[in-house]
Chain A
């Protein structure tokens, strides 16, 4: 399968806790991106990490990429109820290709 595989499929945490989601893939990539989808809405880009990068931060988000293991993780620190959403990893390949999405992790943050 060319798609990413997120783990876990669902995650429930309390406000203030950290949330970690993982993505594994099998193909070669130029970049790996994470998107958020709130219920009934479109996808919103969160962060992009290039294949030659190992770690990237954006606000409360931290993304790591291990191309030798073909895996990535997304860490959301100090979660808030507003972080409740589905999170998808997406694989950016060669020129002229579209993003290939995983099946997503559903995050529920309760107050």
Chain B
């Protein structure tokens, strides 16, 4: 069983389109995250939800909108895609309220490689 699964794995789309990436975790974790990994492999936190509540919202264009229908799902919707949005997007989850207080690890999905042409 896959612990954190994201779909699709690959996404190629034209500029200006709207697209969504879905993420589900079956670990019973309370917190889920979206990270963006650029071409230099730098991972940057975008959003985090704890029990469906937004707790981290980094400086991300408002074209990016996360949605958490329940604590096992965190989807990412992107409006008006731009060339610079091309990257690999990772979903992750962890137990507790973030990874610091309870000293917990994060579990990552396989990533969604988004290419905007």
Contacts and interface: CB of A to CB of B under 8 A. Distances in A.
Nearest to B4: A42
Interface string B38-77: 0011111100101000011000000000000000000000
B107 A45 contact: yes
B103 A96 contact: no
A100 B45 contact: yes
Given A41-B110, A88-B43, A98-B56, A30 B105 contact: no
Contacts of B48: 96, 98
Contacts of B105: 33, 45, 48
Given A96-B55, A97-B56, A100-B45, A45 B106 contact: yes
Nearest to A101: B43
B100 A95 contact: yes
Contacts of A40: 111
Contacts, number: 80
Interface residues of B, number: 28
A94 to B, nearest CB: 5
A30 B90 contact: no
A31 interface: yes
Given A48-B105, A88-B43, A104-B41, A99 B111 contact: no
A48 B103 contact: yes
B99 A42 contact: no
Interface in A73-111: 86, 88, 90, 92-101, 103-104, 106
A57 interface: no
B76 to A, nearest CB: 15
Contact of B99 (A41, A43, A97): A97
Given A86-B41, A98-B45, A100-B45, A92 B111 contact: no
Interface of A: 29-31, 33, 35, 37, 40-45, 48, 50, 86, 88, 90, 92-101, 103-104, 106
